[in-house]
């Protein structure tokens, strides 16, 4: 074992307190095992998802995709069929407007 280096010891004391992450010890032990084994560490899907979801942008994107998927699925599943509208109910749409022309074309009115 080497003799303590006084200069290094003084520098480390001057550095002050360092706040370690909660999983620091487990990460160090894992890297030691990795170095001893000489094999690549396998990362499972749960660890990968946990790592990705800690990134704010990825978490926001996942929430947006999930809400869009759920919302569109609920909308499709809750639809009860096509609605029939009498042409007299659509008289407020003028024939000179784009919406009025579309309604007349889609309901079979004059074109």
Q: Report the candidate in 104, 100, 107, 101 with the shortest Cα–Cα distance to residue 84.
A: 107
User: pLDDT value at position 97?
Assistant: 80
**pTM for this entry:** 0.33
User: pLDDT value at position 38?
Assistant: 62
What span, in angstroms and rounded, lies between the C-alpha atoms of 91 and 104? 10
The residue count for the chain: 111
Compute the 3-state secondary structure of the chain and give helix, strand, coil in percent, each to the nearest 5.
65, 0, 35
Domain boundary assignment for the chain: 81-111
Give me the tens of pLDDT residue by residue for the chain, a chain 111 residues long: 466 788 888 887 887 777 778 888 888 888 888 777 666 667 788 888 888 888 888 889 989 999 999 998 888 888 777 777 776 776 677 777 888 778 777 777 654
First to last CA, the chain: 96
Q: Report the candidate in 75, 46, 56, 49 with the shortest Cα–Cα distance to residue 64.
A: 56
What span, in angstroms and rounded, lies between the C-alpha atoms of 51 and 45? 10
Token representation of residue 97:
């407007």
């Amino acid at each position: 074992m080497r003799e303590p280096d006084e200069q290094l010891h003084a520098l480390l004391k001057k550095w002050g307190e360092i706040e370690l992450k909660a999983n620091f010890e487990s990460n160090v032990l894992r890297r030691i095992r990795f170095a001893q084994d000489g094999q690549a560490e396998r990362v499972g899907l749960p660890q990968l998802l946990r790592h990705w979801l800690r990134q704010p942008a990825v978490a926001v994107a996942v929430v947006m995709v999930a809400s869009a998927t759920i919302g569109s699925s609920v909308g499709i599943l809750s639809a009860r069929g096509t609605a029939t509208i009498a042409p007299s109910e659509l008289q407020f749409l003028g024939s000179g407007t784009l919406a009025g022309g579309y309604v007349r074309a889609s309901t079979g009115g004059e074109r």
